Amino acid sequence: MTVRDQSQGATPQEIPPAVTGVAHVIAAARYSLGGLQRLMGETAARLELVAGAGTGFLLLVLGASALQLAAFAILFALVLAVEALNTAIEVLTDRISPEWSVQAKHAKDLGSLAVALLIFSNVLCVGGILLSLFG
């Protein structure tokens, strides 16, 4: 079975057969790495990665506890996960609605809000950790 990818000029592409077991796990890991590679093409994700790694390193140097570091790491991972979902929303929105529309704007704005709320949560987490260390 073939499908035409209109974004690439209608070149037929084979749909890969379904896999199970260990092959499925390997394929899923490959898809995740592809997603990470695509996400790193986004400036916002690269900036978030640099800020998160730097903040994590700073917290480690300042003597944050293992629990504090774990809480920060979880929230930081969630920022990248939601950034990936936001990017997916943007890609799909651009695909199904290439012209400007209020619905597309709302979809993109809501994805952006989700990322912003998690970044705010990270800032609060880091603030709480710093207060516990120096307050």
Annotation: binding site for a divalent metal cation? 42, 90
Look up 83 and say whether it is catalytic: yes
**Three state DSSP letters for 30-94:** HHHHHHHHHHCCCHHHHHHHHHHHHHHHHHHHCCCCHHHHHHHHHHHHHHHHHHHHHHHHHHHHH
Catalytic residue, candidates 68, 76, 80, 83 = 83
Residues that constitute the known binding site for substrate: 44-48, 83, 112
Give binding residues for ATP as ranges: 31, 42, 90, 108-109
Active site residues: 83
